[in-house]
Amino acid sequence: MEVFQDPVQFSKGINLRELMTSSTEFHIDMDFKNKSDILLDDDPFPEVDDDEDSDVEDLLKNIEDATDELMLSSPEYLSFKELAAKMVDCVSSGDAKILIIEEGDGPLVPVDAEVTLHYAAYWEKTKIPFDTTLTMNSGAPIKIKLGTGRCLPGVEIGVTTVRGPAARFHLLLQPRLAWGPLGAPPRVRPDPALFVISLYDVKDVHAATRFNDLPIEVQTKFETTMKTVKVLHSEAKSLFAKKRYKRAIKNYQQSMNVLSLSMPKDESEEAEIKKLKVTVYTNLAVCYCKIDKPKYVFIMCDNIDRISNLDNHCKALFYCGKAHEMLGKHDLALKYYKKALKLEPKNRDIGKALADLDDYVKKSAEKEKTLWQNAFKSEKRKEKVVYDVDEDFQSGVRDMCQDLAGRQEYAKIDLPTGLTKNEVCCIKGITSDFEGLVVDEDGEGKRKKVSIIKKMLY
């Protein structure tokens, strides 16, 4: 067994997950002695380029500056023992301790929420993080869905201990609630780590589902209503910004269902519910405008008018005007735009809509005027036509044309030769007044043959 007196080489690397969760077999490469000579040919300590050292220093400096700027730097008291004395336990074992620097402005973060955050993780008595989101996602905060296993257990526990969004806190984690008791060598040691976390946004993506699972007596409570509607409106606003109008409509419809179930206890709660209903109907009107459904806009405006006077709501009046304009009802559109402008005289959107509509109406009126003028000119030109032939000739031609026009079948009348130029011109003019009649000419001078033909109309 002399072969084992020196370090040996395995035939394949160690899988850390298998090593921690199941039994593992190690296979020795019995030919490693021969390979070791080859390995020794390489310099185990190659010279490091000065430029590489400089690049690393610049990178670390940038990270340190970024943590300061985003308030993710390690606290001044670098001793974890000193820091732990200022913290409270997130779990009874004490493996996760928290110190809230800034409390968020909402409810506790739900365990299945989608959160947006930045963090920086430090070993004890260090100023540069060994792990941070600042080096991920092009430096932007990362989004994490809690409860899906994408987050360290201790971080997830800490996040759901605070109110969000806009919370900042320090989280001291023991290895068991971070990367595990063995760490993740070589970068992550099996030591306690301090996480400095800034929470930017919280989306309670399952609020509607949880509401449906509540007993009816809880659903009707004002507090439940406000909490659920706030989440639904936040999501709808985000969807609208992404131009996903149909999904935003579904959220607002869910919100209206929640509001309809609510049972306010006093006048102030009732007024708040009424105000929210007006907001929902108004936002639905906007969404329906965006997907070209003007008739649904009118339904939303009627609903607003039913619970509150529509003339008191500028945004609703504006989109009611938009809907009328979409249907080509410019007089009604003008009426609602003016009502909206009366409520907000300095509103640029309303002013622009009025100016654009006024310009359109003026251009349309000019076009219509031009069309009528051309029509009248045509009539006048027609009236001025005078044929240099006697009245009996004109009357005879007209009677002949009337007779031909009244026939159902093909017919042809050959006129006598020797017609004058004025007589031929008269025949052509009178024939043009009758549908289906045409004049056919053959030859020149005194031998010219002129015929009036009745064509079949299909």
CB-facing half-sphere around the CA of 455: CA atoms within 13 A: 11
Distance of CA 76 to the CA centre of its chain: 43
DSSP classification of residue 178: T
Cα–Cα distance, 198 to 68 (Å, whole number): 12
Task: Report phi then psi at 163, rounded to 5.
Answer: -95, 140
- Alpha-carbon radius of gyration of the chain: 43
Q: Which pLDDT belongs to residue 121?
A: 94
Tell me: pLDDT of 283 over 90: yes
- Helix residue ranges, H only, 70-173: 80-84, 153-159
Q: 301 versus 9: which is more confidently predicted?
A: 301
Q: Which residue has the tokens 């296993």?
A: 149
pLDDT in tens, 359-368: 766 666 666 5
SS3 438: strand
Q: Which residues lie across from 170 on neighbouring strands? A: 99, 196
Instruction: Supply 219's token pair.
Output: 């659903």
HEC string of 20-44 equals: HHCCCCCCECCCHHHHHHHHHCCCC
DSSP classification of residue 436: T
Q: 297 versus 31: which is more confidently predicted?
A: 297
Q: Confidence class of residue 357 from pLDDT cuts 50, 70 and 90?
A: confident
Q: Which pLDDT belongs to residue 64?
A: 77
Name the least confident of 146-155, 258-267, 346-355, 370-379: 370-379
Cα–Cα distance, 253 to 31 (Å, whole number): 71
Cα–Cα distance, 452 to 344 (Å, whole number): 70
pLDDT in tens, 239-254: 999 999 999 999 999 9
For residues 218, 222, 226, 232, the Cα torsion angle rounded to the nearest 10 degrees is 50
Domains of the chain listed by start with CATH number: 2-33 (no CATH), 55-205 (3.10.50.40), 208-360 (1.25.40.10), 391-454 (3.30.1370.50)
- Interval 278-290 mean pLDDT: 96
Residue 264 contacts residue 222 (beta carbons within 8 Å) = yes
Q: In which element (H, E) is residue 99 found? A: strand 96-102
Fill in the amino acid letter for 379.
Answer: E
User: pLDDT > 70: what percent of the chain?
Assistant: 80
Residue 457 contacts residue 435 (beta carbons within 8 Å) = yes
- Interval 19-31 mean pLDDT: 53
Q: Which pLDDT belongs to residue 38?
A: 34
Cα–Cα distance, 446 to 419 (Å, whole number): 7
Q: Which pLDDT belongs to residue 226?
A: 92
- Of 207, 206, 173, 204, nearest in space to 190 by CA: 173
- Of 199, 239, 21, nearest in space to 110 by CA: 199
Helix and strand numbers, DSSP H then E, in the chain? 16, 10
Q: Write down the pTM of the prediction.
A: 0.53
Q: Which residue has the tokens 């390489």?
A: 42
Q: In which element (H, E) is residue 453 found? A: strand 449-454
pLDDT in tens, 305-316: 999 999 999 999
Task: Report phi then psi at 97, rounded to 5.
Answer: -120, 150
- Interval 345-353 mean pLDDT: 88
- Helix residue ranges, H only, 344-417: 348-383, 391-405
Cα–Cα distance, 330 to 334 (Å, whole number): 6
pLDDT in tens, 388-439: 888 888 888 888 888 888 888 888 888 888 888 888 888 888 888 888 888 8
SS3 75: coil
Q: Which pLDDT belongs to residue 41?
A: 39
SS3 329: coil
Q: How far is CA 346 from CA 314, 350, 353, 434, in A?
A: 12, 8, 13, 61
Q: Confidence class of residue 1 from pLDDT cuts 50, 70 and 90?
A: very low
Q: Which pLDDT belongs to residue 457?
A: 62
Instruction: Supply 192's token pair.
Output: 């306690």
Q: In which element (H, E) is residue 423 found? A: helix 421-431
Q: Which residues, at least 6 apart from 5, have a Cβ–Cβ distance to it below 8 Å? A: none
pLDDT in tens, 32-82: 444 444 333 344 334 445 555 556 666 677 777 888 888 888 887 668 999
Residue 195 contacts residue 173 (beta carbons within 8 Å) = yes
